[in-house]
């Protein structure tokens, strides 16, 4: 898996490409930890190019969400493929992590949380 990074205003947009599975979860977790170290607290995970995600991949997203929340930040996931969305739905992770249909909607979700001031 590869993760491309871009900035949109004060929001970091991570664009992972490939499969989010056990062998790639450390890459995502490490990237989020480095962002927090550099004081970036608001992250949008654009998942439009994730074709498959297993439970380890979901666990890494939940861990990233906890890390960002603990830093008064926020995480949202956008543009999920149907199979990936199903993993969120079946595990009820969609009730704990903000999901958006498009990257634009995801950016709006994060901006609303920034305005609230505490990331929640």
Confidence of residue 120 (pLDDT cuts 50, 70, 90): very low
Each residue of 43-99: pLDDT tens digit?
Answer: 999 999 999 999 999 999 999 999 999 999 999 999 999 999 999 999 999 999 999
DSSP string, 8-56: ETTEEEEEEEEEESGGGHHHHHHHHHHHHHTT--EEEEE-TTEEEE-HH
Helix axes 55-70, 25-37, angle to 10 degrees: 10
Task: Say whether pTM exceeds 0.85.
Answer: yes
Each residue of 11-41: pLDDT tens digit?
Answer: 999 999 999 999 999 999 999 999 999 999 9
Tell me what pLDDT residue 116 has. Answer: 84
């Amino acid at each position: 898996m590869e993760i491309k990074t871009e900035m949109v205003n004060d929001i970091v947009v991570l664009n992972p490409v490939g499969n989010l599975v056990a062998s790639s979860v450390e890459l995502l977790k490490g990237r989020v930890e480095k962002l927090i170290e550099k004081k970036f607290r608001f992250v949008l995970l654009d998942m439009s190019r994730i074709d498959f995600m297993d439970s380890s991949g979901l666990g890494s997203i939940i861990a990233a969400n906890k890390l960002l929340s603990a830093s008064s930040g926020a995480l949202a996931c956008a543009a999920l493929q149907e199979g990936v969305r199903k993993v969120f739905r079946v595990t009820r992770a969609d009730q704990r992590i903000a999901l958006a249909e498009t990257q634009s909607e995801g950016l709006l979700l994060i901006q609303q949380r920034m305005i609230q001031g505490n990331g929640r």
